[in-house]
Amino acid sequence: MAKKILVTGGTGYIGSHTVVELQNSGYEVVVVDNLSNSSADVLDNIEKISGIKPAFEQFDLADKAKTDNFFARTPGIEAIIHFAASKAVGESVQKPLMYYRNNLVSLMNLMDCQVKYGVANIVFSSSCTVYGQPDVLPVTEKTPRKDAESPYGNTKRVNEDILSDSIAAHPEITGIALRYFNPIGAHPTAIIGELPLGVPQNLVPFITQTAAGLRDELMVFGDDYDTIDGSAVRDYINVVDLAKAHVVAIARLLEGKNKKNYEIFNLGTGNGLSVLEVVNGFEKATGVKLNYKIVGRRAGDIEKIWADTTFANEELGWKAEKELEETLLSAWLWEKKLRGIK
């Protein structure tokens, strides 16, 4: 019988790509999402790719009674992948209480239910934001975390601590925190992808919206960093590669291959790219000329970060495979599909 996996936030950007990969690997998926940052149409789009519409429940995981009720009537869940969270860095500065409540309480409710209903395994979406600006690059999982730059970033740090402390107290639970670097791109079918609300804060959606004519020009934030061309450097990882890492992490837990009850993995490509390199890569991949101008640095940005992926490569047996241009092309095909551009 197929193993049943709960995917919270499964109609969101990374969650939807992961649902497809889980289904392709033979797992049965149940999605919980409150649709605060996604839409139920995504379930139909998942079905168009995988042939299977996942079971779906719409409720807020910060609501303890509803979360408990869900587990009480949904037996057989063997593992949770917890994507559900609010993720806009700027908004978290304006609404810290909302971010702490949503992101921390959701995880606490889920872990209470893991203990109560005997759900042994959890994979958690963490972020390279926990490293801040590292003193040494690339960053390994042993690189010390730094004080968060935003309430959002702090929720990732505190949630990692909630996981680690709770797993220490409940040895029947095993968990993996995956620290994503910068996820970009869309499914190669262009049937699912990222759906930013309002003006995109992230680089690649801003690029594709500029290319599509929704924005006049991209502002490149800073050209005076100590990097190859002065623009800031990040480790951009294809969302399908990222999704596949979740399938590997789930199998590791279900097969008991984990070495510790709580493990942490960096998920990136291992390559740092500057903003201007991404802009050039987009133009090369798509043949579309991008309007852009250099402006001052964005407050709160770090200069450069990229992952040391050795631990994920060797221990998980997972490696990011897609090239930058293929990934940027997938983002563009998705944007064109959304806007009805031929």
Task: Say if residues 157 and 305 touch (Cβ distance below 8 Å).
Answer: no
- Cα separation, 321 vs 271, in Å, equals 12
Of 64 and 223, CB closest to ligand NAD = 64
- Those residues whose C-beta lies under 8 Å from the C-beta of residue 142, and which sit 6 or more positions away, are none
Indicate which single residue of 5, 19, 61, 130 sits in contact with ligand NAD (rule: CB under 6 A): 61
Peptide bond into 138 cis (omega under 30): yes
Query: Which residue type occupies 281?
Result: G
From candidates 23, 34, 86, 127, binder to ligand WQD by CB under 6 A: 127
| Positions 167 through 196 that interact with ligand NAD (CB under 6 A) | 180, 182-183
Among ligand WQD, ligand NAD, none, partner that 263 touches (CB below 5 to 8 angstroms by kind) = none
Tokens of 162: 């909630």
How many C-beta neighbours within 10 Å does residue 96 have?
15
13 lines the binding site for ligand NAD (CB under 6 A): yes
Sole window of 97-105, 109-117, 212-220, 320-328 interacting with ligand WQD (rule: CB under 6 A): 212-220
Residue 302 beta carbon to ligand WQD: minimum distance, rounded to whole angstroms: 7
Find the Cα–Cα–Cα–Cα dihedral 193, 282, 323, 234, rounded to 10°: -90
Interface with ligand WQD, residue 212, by CB under 6 A:
no
By CB under 6 A, residue 334 contacts ligand NAD = no
Q: What is the C-alpha separation between 335 and 342, in angstroms, rounded?
A: 11
Which one of 55-63, 169-177, 249-257, 306-314 is the stretch in contact with ligand NAD (CB under 6 A)?
A: 55-63
Quick one: which of 203, 247, 248, 267 contacts ligand WQD (CB under 6 A)?
A: 203
150 touching ligand NAD, by CB under 6 A: no
Name the phi and psi angles at 85, rounded to 5: -175, 160
Going by the DSSP 8-state scheme, the letter that residue 76 receives in this structure is: T
What does 234 bind: ligand NAD, ligand WQD, none (CB cut-off 5 to 8 Å by kind)? ligand WQD
Catalytic choice (152, 180, 225, 236): 152
Q: Is 262 assigned a catalytic role?
A: no
| In the complex, least distance from residue 104 CB atom to ligand NAD, rounded to whole angstroms | 11
Cα angle 184, 185, 187 (rounded to 5 degrees) comes to 135
Is 201 a binder of ligand WQD (CB under 6 A)?
Answer: yes
DSSP per residue, 207-252: HHHHHTTSSS-EEEE-S-SSSSSSS-EE-EEEHHHHHHHHHHHHHH
Token match 């279900």: residue? 254
Residue 6, classed as helix, strand or coil, is: strand
Contact positions with ligand NAD (CB under 6 A) in 124-143: 125, 127
The footprint of ligand WQD on this chain (CB under 6 A) covers a number of residues equal to 19
Name the minimum Å distance from CB 216 to ligand NAD: 24
Copy the structure tokens of residue 115.
């203990």
- In angstroms, rounded to a whole number, what is the distance separating the alpha carbons of residues 54 and 10? 9
Q: For binding to ligand WQD (CB under 6 A), which residues are involved?
A: 87, 89, 127, 129, 153, 182, 201-203, 206, 218-221, 232, 234, 275, 298, 301
The residues binding ligand NAD (CB under 6 A) are 9, 11-15, 33-38, 60-62, 83-87, 102, 106, 125, 127, 180, 182-183
Residues belonging to the active site: 152
